[in-house]
Structure 1
Amino acid sequence: MGSRRYPGWRPVRTVAAGARVARVEVFFDLVFVYGFFNISRFVAEDLSTHGLVKGMLVLALLWLCWIAHILVAQRVRLGEGIAPLVTLTAMGAVLGIALSIPQAFGDQSGGGPAPVLFPLCYFLFRGLHLGLHLYAVRDRPVERRQLIRIGVAVVVSTGLLLAAAFVPDLPDDADHLWVRPGIWALAVLVEYGNGFVVGLAGWRLVAPGHFVERFELIVIIAFGELIISIGLGSGVLGKPVTWTTFYTTLVGLAAIVSLWWLYFDSLAPAAELAMHGRRGPARIALARDGYLYLHLPMIAGLILVAVGGERMVHHLGAAGVDLLGPLPGLGGPLLFTGAALYLVSLVAFQFRVLGTVVWTRVTAVVLVVAAVPVAGRLPAPVVVALLTVLTVGLVVAEIVLLAGSRWALQEAVREEREAREAREARWRRHHR
């Protein structure tokens, strides 16, 4: 009855080369704000090597969920047919993952469901997307076989996560703190290793513009989490704002804006042009290396900056704090470690996608890395100011020294945008 009444309706509609990001995709990304936020909270509660490793393992699996969503979006219009229902159901699975993060490495016998909830929601999310993806490529046997191989890895990794949930508590002298993270690390290795084993055969990147835009949006999500975390560190709901807190957040915002600029001003549009210029396996390899893999350490770096920044603001906003004393704990070093990881990822991404290296960014990486051991000994206001000076200085240097190449790139991007807008305007004039 439905098909006779709506003859144009189809359960799945395929993606075209000029596809745009659907509203449901932007809405879907919002749940990842909560996921990234909980990861930063999780790391902040256990600010140690052990806590950092566990936080990065959770991020690695959450990232695979988002990647599965992106790959489906290269086959299916997620705003049409049954795809919105699948997407919104998957949001519930991500919410379950995010809720379970704080207790994900606990013992299931302890009474809470979180250690089992994480793998079950992870399996549900991946299963929903694999099912939709398989249906969309039912006439492409090579890609179907690739998806089945991915499905096998999902089953294995989920089994490992469930096994970790039921590992009983061990005596303290058995170093049980690394037993569950070790099993999780094996699950992550299975998933990411399988990505290289599967290879590039059968895959297609139908809409590179849509693909690139989705990654730009998830980077924006990570920046949003960074701003929220620093705001949370000010404790505005529990105590009055001080001038020191205002100084720290304002100076920190300048550093955040600089980090944002380093990705979005020139690098992101240049990478999109490079993606459009590649075809076949070369485009797939570029997408896998530059986006699926190298954007993960970018996100990880921003989360580490968020944790360090929150500790910094919280410390400076505390009553009676010695402003000339160093920031206790790992907050300062973590702030610079996250910034260094983010900058290194940008350099690697640019080299992989564009084949170029900018000496200003390499210099900035060296300076930020050199500041990591010093950050724990300097007064907290100096630490945040130092990071801001380095990042803002890098932006100013590139604006001045790379003005010619930036202008040429902006002209190319402007021409492409105006041509696309002209095509859309012509279509609208003929379909009023």
Structure 2
Amino acid sequence: MTFAHRLRPRLVEERASVSPLELFFDLVFVFALTRVTDLMAEDPTGVNLLRGALVMAVLWWSWVGYAWLCNLVRADEGIVRVVMFGAMGAMFITALTIPEAFDDLAGGLDGPVIFALGYFVVRLLHLVMFWVISRTDPQLRGQVLRFAPSMVTGTAFLLIASQLTGTAQTVMWILALAGDYIGTLIGGTDWRLRSISHFAERHGLIIIVALGESIVSIGIGVASLPISWAIIVASLLGLAVSGLLWWSYFDVTSLAVEHAFEEATGARQIKIARNCYSFLHLPMVIGVVMLSLGLKKILSYVGDGNHHRLTDPLYGWPLIALFGGAALYLLALVAFKAYATRSVTVPRVVTAVVLIALIPVVWHIPALATLGVLTAVLLAMIGYEMVRYDQPREKIRHGSHP
């Protein structure tokens, strides 16, 4: 076997599963999520929450490109394996600079510039790999050419933003993301998918990664503290919240969308992949990261060791992040399912509205009670859905499907 043959990309099988290298790639994304949570938790203001969401959107677009790439060619074969490790290195450096993505720290290299350049390298490797594998596919090659300007635009605005501060800097970040996302939206539907099950599984796993980060936030917050009943109760409630959000995605919704995804053809299939998975999973992940911030703050309250802190309320932006993050996650789930199946899950819309409405109500109750209220609302939603949609659920989960 020649060296050139060893480097040749290999196509993904129709019913492929996610490869170990893709899971390894996601470990860098896990680290990046923790850095975003830390960025917001350091000074939980509205500005920092917005910055966290903007950073999350940049990281997400880096990850999404490789979800599409590795649905065409195997991540662990040939030159693609080398590209994946290169992208991991660039994304890791980008994640390291998240605390400096907006404001450069004294000493060392220019943090905002390094962040922008790291993002550029991740995107460039992705684009070059797509160019290589599209050499015998004129339709895909044309799609790649239409997609390239959005990458250049996004990176250019991030580099401009690195030289600015304040509102002007934020505007440049928003323009960078608009260039990427809008460019993709209007760039056409000539992309290729080889394995629907792989694509759906890939995005399901990233939701688990995000929810796992929320659990990590709970554990890290009290890891060095002596165990207490307050810590036990808060930790179990936080774990229950993460579990209920997992349930809301994986019990029925992800299966229903995947079935519709499999049945779609042509441009409709590409639109489901783009809109349901590439676009609508972003607000889900942002919602979970916001939730993680709220959980982290609550655990810091109950683990403080000061009896007075147990009666302190969670208020301000951490409270908005806790309830608003859960509401954002649910609304994104509703849109995710609605686009693919043309069916709106009304109880989840109602639950999201209730969570937003409860923010001023729980503003003045102890933080631990606030977490109990959130858990109770989500549990009530899941319980209602289990009874109300019992037959459709049984059909989706256990009925015959091609």
Same fold (TM over 0.5): yes
2:167 aligns to what?
178
Q: What amino acid is aligned across from residue 167 of structure 2 in structure 1?
A: W
Q: Could you tell me whether the CA contact under 8 Å between 1:307 and 1:331 is conserved in 2?
A: yes
2:12 aligns to what?
15
Further displaced range: 269-278 or 392-401: 392-401
Q: Are 1:232 and 2:246 matched, yes or no?
A: no
Q: Could you tell me whether the CA contact under 8 Å between 2:64 and 2:278 is conserved in 1?
A: yes
2:191 aligns to what?
203
Provide, for residues 406-426 of structure 1, a one-character-per-residue CA deviation record: whole Å limited to 9, x for no partner. Answer: 11112236x66xxxxxxxxxx
Q: What amino acid is aligned across from residue 53 of structure 2 in structure 1?
A: M
CA drift of 1:401 comes to: 1.9
Q: What amino acid is aligned across from residue 200 of structure 2 in structure 1?
A: V
Which of 328, 339, 343 is the equivalent residue of 1:356? 343
Provide, for residues 138-167 of structure 1, a one-character-per-residue CA deviation record: whole Å limited to 9, x for no partner. Answer: 122232232123222222221221222223
Q: Could you tell me whether the CA contact under 8 Å between 2:314 and 2:364 is conserved in 1?
A: yes
Q: Are 1:100 and 2:97 matched, yes or no?
A: yes
Which of 254, 258, 265 is the equivalent residue of 1:268? 254
2:147 aligns to what?
150
Indicate the RMSD between aligned Cα atoms, in angstroms: 1.8
Q: Counterpart of 1:82 in 2: which secondary structure?
A: helix
Q: What amino acid is aligned across from residue 193 of structure 1 in structure 2?
A: I
Q: Could you tell me whether the CA contact under 8 Å between 2:154 and 2:177 is conserved in 1?
A: yes
Q: Are 1:397 and 2:394 matched, yes or no?
A: no
What is the alpha-carbon distance in structure 1 between the residues aligned to residue 7 and residue 93 of structure 2? 30
CA drift of 1:109 comes to: 8.3
2:23 aligns to what?
26
Which of 126, 136, 141 is the equivalent residue of 2:138? 141
CA drift of 1:15 comes to: 2.2
Q: Are 1:56 and 2:56 matched, yes or no?
A: no
Q: What amino acid is aligned across from residue 389 of structure 1 in structure 2?
A: A
Identity score, percent: 36
Q: Counterpart of 2:258 in 1: which secondary structure?
A: helix
In structure 2, relative to structure 1, the CA distance for the partners of 1:7 and 1:119 (3 Å cut) is closer
Q: What amino acid is aligned across from residue 287 of structure 2 in structure 1?
A: G
Q: What amino acid is aligned across from residue 350 of structure 2 in structure 1?
A: T
1:72 aligns to what?
69
Further displaced range: 325-334 or 243-252: 325-334
CA drift of 1:304 comes to: 0.3
Which of 234, 243, 246 is the equivalent residue of 1:248? 234
Aligned length: 401
What is the alpha-carbon distance in structure 2 between the residues aligned to residue 143 and residue 276 of structure 1? 21
Q: Which ranges of 4 or more aligned residues in structure 1 deviate by more than 4 Å?
A: 6-10, 107-111
Provide, for residues 304-356 of structure 1, a one-character-per-residue CA deviation record: whole Å limited to 9, x for no partner. Answer: 00001100111121132343332254222221010000111111111111111
Q: Are 1:37 and 2:25 matched, yes or no?
A: no
Which of 295, 299, 303 is the equivalent residue of 2:285? 299
CA drift of 1:242 comes to: 2.1
**TM-score normalised over the length of structure 2:** 0.95
Q: Could you tell me whether the CA contact under 8 Å between 1:330 and 1:376 is conserved in 2?
A: no
What is the alpha-carbon distance in structure 1 between the residues aligned to residue 6 and residue 384 of structure 2? 54
Alignment gaps of 5+ in structure 1: 168-175, 417-432
1:388 aligns to what?
375
Alignment gaps of 5+ in structure 2: none
The higher radius of gyration belongs to: 1
Q: Are 1:259 and 2:248 matched, yes or no?
A: no
Q: Counterpart of 2:49 in 1: which secondary structure?
A: helix
Q: Counterpart of 1:330 in 2: which secondary structure?
A: helix
**TM-score normalised over the length of structure 1:** 0.89
